Chain A
Amino acid sequence: MSALFAIAWRSAWNRRFTLVLTVLSIALSAVLLLGVERIRTQLRDSFSSAVSGTDLIVGARTGSTQLLLYAVFRIGAATNNMSWRSVQALSAHEGVDWVVPLSLGDSHRGFAVLATTPDYFAHFHYGDRQPLTLREGKPFDALFDAVLGAEVAERLGYRVGQRITLAHGTGELTVAEHADKPFTVVGILARTGTPIDRTVHIGLQAMEAIHLDWRGGAPMPGLRVPAAELGGVDLTPKSVTAALVGLKNRAAVFGVQRWVSTYTGEPLMAVLPGVALDELWGVIGVGENALLAMSALVALVSLAGLVAVVLAGLDQRRRELAVLRAAGAGLRHVMALLAIEGALVTLAGVLLGAAMAALGIALLAPWLQARFGLTLTLSAPTANEGLLVVSLLVAGWLASLLPALRAYRLSLADGLSPRL
């Protein structure tokens, strides 16, 4: 058998240029399959790690997915706010440990602005109950202080001390700027791999202050409150977008949820982040599966390519196979030769693909993080990835048996003298 291996190797080396193309096409499909799988799982991870340690998210009555989308992912907008009175009532509930109100709606150069209380930095957790940490600076303290998410600072090149102005509304193109009340960056958060990285954090009072002289989304002509005259003004907000709630005892979560939904002051709802995340993932999962199905199709196509290349090459190898037969190789040797070659080519392709995928992840991770906020980490292959690699190997090898079968039939028909 080792003699056959040597011959298979020498023969393959002799046709290395064609075979390299085959190996590359298998490698590419392996890269695609492994890459999609890695992105898929890490997307899911970073998705489910967006919020943790929060027992309930409370907001005006809407869909639970929608509430989660704008409160946690800064996607979309609230149709209604919840009043400050409701926030106070919620804080007074006996089961509630802490309430962190959130106010959204403004932006800075495309990044969402989140107005909240300093408690946010103490209570908000992400991932596996990890707290927010400051990479540099401190939490906001003075009225016009701002704390930036890691990506905001990185993309815009901001340091502590930078003066920024906020824009009214969200989106890159904003017409109305709060240019009269600039903020100072006092802190920059460490990277979390969650939407926090793309958020500018300010105090609730500051949010109120920049909108004092605004009505209906535009500055009121003639009504201007300069920053210097804010000293005596009451900056307690009238309403907020949503609130994160921590309970003293998690077992009380359904009781508090019921209390919120039956609250008489205004129509409110409370969602459990985990449940809402699962619901949301159910929607996204469809696209995820489509992606996986597509890469499986690509793998299938490249395996078909492998079969086609080997089959096409077989006609040119009739002479070689006949010489082998004349020199004493049996039909089983001829088949084994092609099966060995198929196995080697598939193995080389899949290994190359796995290496390329690892290299790609290592090289592209910073760019993906910066561009799409997608955290990819280079880690040991997961069970799923192992399964993909093995099934690719098996499928590739089985596909290479097809040419082996044809070689068998050709050899049988040709005997020792190939008709060319």
Chain B
Amino acid sequence: MPAWRGPSDVAVSSVLAIEALRFGWPGAASPCIDIERLDVVAGETVFLHGPSGCGKSTLLSLMAGVLVADAGRVALLGHDWAALSGAARDRCRVAHVGYIFQQFNLLPYLSVLDNVLLPCRFSPRRRAQASQEGSPLTQAEALLDGMGLEPSLWRRPAMKLSVGQQQRVAAARALIGRPELVIADEPTSALDEAHRDAFLDVLLDACAAHRSALVFVSHDRRLAARFQRELRLPAINRAALTIEAGYPA
């Protein structure tokens, strides 16, 4: 995919650019996402919050190219998702985006290391980037180490780990091969306070070390101070305003 090399070389460049984005679920009367402009630059950490149902997950899906905008533009590294075919979006997503869920991020039957290495198996680019520090395996081990996971855990099946440990493995997987963008969809909601802070520490450190931009979604506004930028989705989503007006909280 030569088309994807150029823009990422620019020192401070736009990783994600959203312009005049409108998206509505099929059959819905009004759009659920209507954003005039949103930019995320390389290495930037963005905290995105808002009440349930304000379209956070939908926006993340649009950012990751799982959903495609009805109108406007969502561009990753300067390329509009809508211009790509389904298979090309799949390839592009794995090459440039790491993704972390709320929980159950791992394949229970694979070892911790194999889970972390998954993106390298599917993407030549992630594999190549991970090999810059030796091999994908050494980078995976370095990431796990950085996440504070004991080497004794690395070869265990992922299902043997605690929820907090699993989220760290998921973070390591999202970061392997230096994707330009990491999207985290409420990754701390299943963690208690101590684990949540520790997880945030290692995630932010790793993103900084890899110069990966991070879009982090959470209900918990107490976390916002840790990020460079805080965004309240209803504030930028014009569609959410009408929803909030229509449905009293």
Contact = CB atoms under 8 A, between A and B. Distances in A.
Contacts of A7: 107, 110, 121
Interface stretch (A62-70, A316-324, A354-362, A398-406): A316-324
B107 A326 contact: no
A329 interface: yes
A327 B119 contact: yes
Interface of B: 57, 60-61, 64, 66-67, 86-87, 90-91, 93-94, 99, 101, 104-110, 115, 118-119, 121-123, 126, 173, 185
For B61, B64, B105, B118, the residue with the greatest tally of chain A CB atoms inside 10 Å of its CB is B118
29 contacts: A3-B121, A3-B122, A7-B107, A7-B110, A7-B121, A10-B109, A11-B107, A11-B109, A13-B109, A320-B107, A323-B104, A323-B106, A327-B99, A327-B118, A327-B173, A328-B119, A328-B122, A330-B90, A330-B94, A331-B86, A331-B87, A333-B122, A415-B64, A415-B67, A416-B61, A416-B99, A416-B101, A417-B57, A417-B61
Interface string A328-349: 1111110000000000000000
A14 interface: yes
A329 B126 CA distance: 13
Contacts of B106: 323
Interface residues of A, number: 21
B67 A327 contact: no
Q: Which of A13, A332, A417 has the most CB of B within 10 A?
A: A417
Contact of B66 (A10, A320, A333, A415): A415
Contacts of B90: 329-332
B107 A324 contact: yes
B33 to A, nearest CB: 14
Nearest to A10: B109
A330 to B, nearest CB: 3
Contacts of A323: 101, 104-107
Contacts of B110: 7, 10
Interface centre among A11, A324, A416, by most chain B C-beta atoms within 10 angstroms, is A416
Contacts of B185: 417
Interface string A13-33: 110000000000000000000
Contacts of B107: 7, 10-11, 320, 323-324, 327
Contact of B61 (A324, A332, A415): A415
A415 to B, nearest CB: 4
Given A7-B110, A416-B101, 14 more contacts: A3-B122, A11-B107, A11-B109, A14-B108, A14-B109, A324-B107, A327-B99, A329-B122, A330-B91, A330-B122, A331-B86, A415-B61, A415-B66, A416-B66
A308 to B, nearest CB: 23
A328 B94 contact: yes
A89 B39 CA distance: 114
A415 B106 CA distance: 16
A18 to B, nearest CB: 14
Contacts of B118: 324, 327-329
B105 A326 contact: yes
Nearest to B94: A328
Contacts of B93: 328
Contacts of A326: 99, 101, 105
A323 B99 CA distance: 9
A10 B121 CA distance: 15
A13 B108 CA distance: 12
